[in-house]
């Protein structure tokens, strides 16, 4: 193969890896928005907590990759449910802006709580042996394969839950009409808790995988990644699960391509500019539809 | 035997009383109508019974259980089903799924089984789908089971709402203006249908309606509301000749 094609394929692979992590986080934003029309700005910090759970489980308890991943997901899922119950549920009838401010507050709480316990960046132990293969000149690492395949698996699982199960059907129903779902006897609070658990669990998986690829973690790592994942969700059409995945892969691609051609300091500047242009062209996002407000 | 007793129920929006001193005695198997001018508080009564609004005073007992203070899903689980004045279907779900979803509160499997499709799930899911198809067939909707609810014509949407309300296996069915927007022929059909489902499913039915033909034709008793207060309760004959009612309500209907 020619040098050019190899180069492009290499970049595409890298973009796919980055996009998968963004997608897992973006899904949490979009699911919560879909069900509560609320932006959970603490979500990026749940991702950060996931990376720290991963650090604790692997370095202090010495667990291997699979148990670390599963326990991290379980831990962040519980954290997500707790955040919703303690911080958001009491404000469900309050103006939306109150819930958003609370979400920002919860995020800062998580950052500073972690900072108090871990003032210096932590090094996550190597959970998987990193082997790099050379396939026709494209270098593929085992970590890359794990990240991409695991993310795709989780996204397929989520799509299955939302499209094919009774709980998924209830989630979709709530996103369309919250008042009448309980009149079918369905406990809306339980469905909301499950939504937060799934979203935060995916963020935990993203935190673990991020720590695989970039093992130095700190309490503020979730801020920028969180903002970016949020933007992915908006670009894809917030509230739309498949849209969040598409938005994430677009941002992953844009970032990798910018770095490939321009100085790396241009990355976020160019990426955000392009995303803003995209939003101007499609204000409801790629798969989003304007919603008619029911009176 | 009464299935639902409301005793001095009141509800305020801000300082404004929407319903005051509302009393109701609904007997098992009865078909009762609530009538009254627009803004009389009829739909508010339905919202109070189903827990969408919380009564600010009074008590309501359904099958002997106090329901004031209970959540809408708890009340629905006691088997009170309802429809809405302005149709409220799950517009983006299929016709079949609209009816399926209303079965899930009573589905006989846990969350994990539901997520993983294990254990009792398969059998229960088949039962739910079969029952949903049966309900759709009653309302002649089986041909459109795969369509999105929002794509159905108005008349079919109305029927789908009743089918969905029946999916929670209600003992009490609340119908909010079921004949709204229907022509006389459709109203005749609806009257037969309401009487038939009442027999078939052993229902007590409470309905709000402006179409006098339907109310006078099938209701055994009628309660008249005006400005949140009960003006009269009685058989259709009594109501038609009640002076206060004629003044407040029927008097507005030309030749009524």
ipTM attached to this prediction: 0.82
Nearest one of B160, B169, B222 to B193, comparing CA atoms: B160
Sequence-separated (6 or more) residues with CB below 8 Å from residue A280:
none
How far does the CA of residue B214 sit from the closest CA of chain A (Å)? 26
> Which residues in B lie closer than 8 A to residue A184 (C-beta atoms)?
73, 76, 101-102, 104-105, 164, 167-168
Which residues between 94 and 133 in chain A have a beta carbon less than 8 angstroms from any beta carbon of chain B? Answer: none
Instruction: Say if the Cβ atoms of A166 and B104 lie within 8 Å.
Output: yes
In angstroms, the CA A33 to CA A24 distance is 15
B interface test, pick of A35, A163, A164, A166 with most B CB neighbours within 10 Å: A166
Q: Of the candidates A110, A271, A45, A85, which has an alpha carbon nearest to the alpha carbon of residue A193?
A: A85
Token pair of A58 as six digits? 């692997």
B45 DSSP assignment: H
Question: Across the interface, do A183 and B73 touch by the CB < 8 Å criterion?
Answer: yes
> A66 and chain B: CB distance < 8 Å anywhere?
no
A191 touches chain B (CB under 8 A): no
CB contact set of A114 (below 8 Å; sequence gap of 6+): A48, A49, A52, A219
Please check whether residue A169 is in contact with residue B128, taking contact to mean a CB–CB distance below 8 angstroms. no
Q: Which residue has the tokens 């879909």?
A: A34
CA distance B225 to B210: 12
Q: One digit per residue, pLDDT tens: chain B, 256 residues?
A: 899 999 999 998 877 778 888 999 999 999 999 998 888 889 999 999 999 999 999 999 999 999 999 999 999 999 999 999 989 999 889 999 999 999 987 766 666 666 666 667 778 888 999 999 999 999 999 999 999 999 999 989 999 999 999 999 999 999 999 999 889 999 999 999 999 999 999 999 999 998 889 999 999 999 998 888 888 899 998 988 877 777 766 555 544 4
Q: Are A21 and A206 within 8 A, CB to CB?
A: yes
Going from N- to C-terminal start, the domains of chain A cover 3-281
**Cα separation of A203 and B5, whole Å?**
50
Q: How far apart are CA A270 and CA A283, in angstroms?
A: 19
Inspect the interface and report whether the beta carbons of B101 and A170 lie closer than 8 Å.
yes
Q: For residue A167, list chain B residues with Cβ-Cβ distance below 8 A.
A: 111, 114-115
Out of B76, B106, B167, the one facing A182 most closely (by C-beta) is B76
Burial of residue A135 (CB within 10 Å: 0-12, 13-18, 19+) is exposed
Output DSSP code: residue B94.
Answer: B
SS3 of B130, please?
helix
Q: d(Cα B208, Cα B43) in Å, to the nearest integer?
A: 8
Residues pairing with B222 in the sheet: B33, B234
Question: Both tokens of residue B176?
Answer: 């909010």
What is A3-281's CATH topology? ABC transporter involved in vitamin B12 uptake, BtuC (1.10.3470)
Q: Is B214 helix (H, G, I), strand (E, B) or coil?
A: helix
Give pLDDT tens digits for A139-178: 899 999 999 999 999 999 999 999 888 889 999 999 888 8
pLDDT bucket at A226, cuts 50 / 70 / 90: very high
Please count the other Cβ atoms lying within 10 Å of the Cβ belonging to residue B97: 20
Contacts of B167 in chain A (CB under 8 A): 184
From chain B, pick out residues whose CB is under 8 angstroms from the CB of A185.
73, 76-77, 102, 104-106, 168
| Structural domains for chain B | 2-79+170-252 (3.40.50.300), 90-154 (no CATH)
> Judged by CB atoms within 8 Å, which residues 224-283 of A form the interface with B?
none
């Amino acid at each position: 193969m020619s040098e050019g094609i190899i180069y492009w394929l290499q970049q595409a692979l890298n973009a796919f890896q980055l996009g998968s992590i963004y997608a897992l986080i973006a899904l949490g934003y979009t699911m919560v928005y879909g069900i509560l029309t609320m932006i959970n700005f603490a979500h990026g910090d749940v991702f950060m907590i996931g990376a720290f759970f991963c650090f604790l489980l692997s370095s202090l308890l010495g667990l291997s990759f699979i148990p670390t991943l599963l326990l991290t997901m379980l831990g962040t899922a519980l954290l997500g449910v707790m955040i919703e119950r303690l911080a958001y549920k009491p404000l469900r009838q309050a103006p939306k802006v109150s819930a958003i401010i609370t979400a920002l507050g919860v995020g800062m709480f998580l950052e500073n709580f972690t900072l108090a316990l871990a003032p210096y960046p932590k090094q996550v132990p190597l959970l998987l042996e990193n082997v790099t293969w050379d396939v026709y000149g494209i270098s593929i690492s085992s970590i890359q394969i794990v990240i991409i395949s695991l993310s795709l698996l989780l996204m397929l699982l989520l799509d299955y839950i939302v499209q094919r199960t009774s709980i998924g059907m209830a989630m979709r129903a709530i996103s369309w009409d919250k008042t009448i779902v309980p009149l079918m006897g369905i406990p809306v609070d339980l469905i909301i808790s499950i939504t937060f658990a799934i979203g935060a669990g995916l963020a935990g998986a993203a935190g673990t995988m991020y720590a695989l690829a970039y093992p130095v973690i700190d309490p503020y790592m979730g801020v920028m990644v969180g903002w970016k994942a949020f933007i992915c969700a908006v670009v894809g059409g917030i509230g739309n699960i498949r849209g969040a995945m598409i938005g994430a892969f677009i941002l992953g691609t844009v970032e990798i391509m910018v770095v490939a051609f321009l100085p790396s300091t241009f990355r976020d500047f160019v990426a955000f500019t392009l995303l803003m242009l995209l939003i101007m062209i499609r204000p409801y996002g790629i798969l989003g539809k304007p919603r008619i407000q029911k009176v | 035997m009464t299935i639902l007793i409301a005793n001095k129920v009141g509800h305020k929006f801000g300082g404004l009383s929407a319903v005051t001193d509302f009393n109701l005695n609904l007997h098992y198997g009865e078909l009762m109508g609530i009538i009254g001018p627009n803004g009389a508080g009829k739909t508010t009564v339905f919202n109070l019974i189903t827990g969408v609004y919380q009564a600010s005073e009074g008590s309501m007992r359904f099958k002997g259980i106090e329901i004031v203070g209970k959540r809408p899903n708890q009340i629905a689980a006691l088997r009170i089903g309802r429809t809405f004045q302005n149709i409220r279907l799950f517009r983006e779900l299929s016709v079949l799924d609209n009816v399926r979803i209303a079965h899930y509160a009573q589905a006989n499997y846990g969350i994990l089984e539901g997520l993983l499709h294990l254990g009792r799930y398969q059998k229960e899911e088949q039962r739910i789908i079969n029952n949903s198809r049966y309900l759709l067939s009653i309302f002649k909707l089986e041909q459109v089971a795969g369509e999105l609810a929002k794509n159905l014509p108005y008349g079919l949407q109305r029927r789908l709402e009743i089918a969905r309300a029946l999916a929670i296996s209600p003992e009490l069915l609340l119908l909010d203006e079921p004949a709204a927007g229907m022509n006389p022929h459709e109203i005749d059909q609806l009257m037969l249908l309401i009487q038939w489902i009442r027999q078939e499913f052993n229902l007590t039915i409470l309905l709000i309606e402006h179409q006098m033909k339907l109310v006078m034709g099938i209701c055994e008793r009628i309660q008249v509301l005006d400005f949140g207060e009960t003006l009269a309760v009685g058989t259709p004959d009594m109501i038609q000749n009640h002076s206060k009612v004629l003044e407040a309500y029927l008097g507005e209907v030309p030749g009524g």
